[in-house]
Structure 1
Amino acid sequence: MASQVTFIGAGNMASAIFGGMIEGGYPATAITATSPSDEHLAPLRQRYGIRTETDNTKAVANADVVVLAVKPQIMRDVCAAMRDAIQARKPLIVSVAAGLGADTLETWLGGELAVIRCMPNTPSLVGAGASGLYANSRVSDAQRQLATGLLEAVGLVEWVDEESLLEAVTAISGSGPAYFFLFFEALEAAGVRLGLPAASARRLALQTAYGAARMAQQSDKDPATLKQNVMSPGGTTERAIHSFEAAELRRIVEEATEACAARAREMARELGQ
């Protein structure tokens, strides 16, 4: 029998996860999603065949897994309202809320709970996500496997042994899609300056990125080698790469990711107060 999974919150990330689960064969009748508004839930019932509930306490009463998918700013109040029901059931808690530590969530929910923190990213919405997961000491091997299965429904899963490493996950994959979107934007603009129609420049930039990512995933060579293989001595690519290096692209990326990780630490302190 499939574990009963309740999603507290039914926004884009939650619907991406349970949609991926269902597409992968997970029974829709074992999934419940909550929202204060039934108007929001009705289309999800119709599309996915899941159970829905506007009362979080009722929704977690029989849950084996509770996925916390509400905004971090309201998480404390949401946890307080269903604390007794969570303590009565003791489900596995999986949080996809940024910035809230496992100890904080466990405390808000009454303590002595298995808690997994997940840092997903927006490509999860198209089944191509990358999620970093951390488990506290109460999480069993079976629960880790269950969480892996839930998140693999929307992409790659990587476990980290230290919770602080989720800040690095945030800096690389959590926020990373925006870095690539910025690069796509810049590459498209460069194509237009060189005379291409905007639509053509965009299609070429996006397809090139897609192809490069597929090559990197399917190749046994590292990115440095793949880059070198495109660079003929004295050729056009070499000239472009030398320009990037002269502009210290590596330093720019390092500083940007360090700034992102620092902000993740700040948010954790602010939200946990």
Structure 2
Amino acid sequence: MSDTGRRNRPALHVEEIAAGERAGVIDEAELAALRASNAAILAAHPAAAVAAEVGRRVGQRRAEARAHRQRHAAWWFGLPTAAAAAAVAIVMLRPGDPEAPTAEPSVFGDMSQGESPDGVRGDVRIKGLASHLVVHRQVGEATEQLRAPARAGAGDVLQVSYVAAGATHGVVASLDGAGVVTLHFPAEAGGSTALRQGGAVRLAQAYELDAAPNFERFVFVTANAPIDAARVVAALKMVAPFADAPTRPLALPASWAQSSFLVEKVSP
């Protein structure tokens, strides 16, 4: 084939023509047919339109991939936030009952309002949080929060606080290794058992551990109606003789919730 024939070949078919030359099958009639095919393809699909469509589809695919990644990330990283948001609810504070725990000065500070020892503000309640006790020990001029089962010895001064978590009434009492039961709240068996809301509410008096051996078990019994404190004291006395007294459930109505905070007694 002449050089002129080579120069007139459309670029679209360079490889096809080159292959044809090697095989010896390219002639002028076939070349004309290829030129006509090129013209038809370009007329049906203008280069600018094809480029625009390709760009649109590439952009669409990228947007879909980005949206998928964002949905996946939002689902994964949103789990803790969603759980926390579902857990938090605002409750109204009620005025304290005259016989309820007071805010009198204490070496442990005032935890009746504001932040609880675990960092929860007093005007925020965690939905699903069970009523429980919080215990601090005096260490010199400071205090430390104990984690059950805690260890303490005779002479240690403990400050007990309760978290009502929505329960309206409660009784706090303790049983030691000598079988002695002490009523901490209310101050006397006939007193009001109404609880205050708003985080950890400290009891009016701190408690100094005596020389009773083995353990001191603090019990918090709650209900949504007044509680007979004498009945709680009696239930504690009933479990005192048993070897599992530190953990044995109290024989109380099923509608009364009960939780314990165990302090193991250690020698100085």
Q: Which band: TM-score by shorter chain?
A: under 0.3
Higher strand fraction (1 or 2)? 2
State the structure with bigger RCO (CA 8 A, min sep 6), 1 or 2: 2
Q: TM-score, normalised by structure 1?
A: 0.22
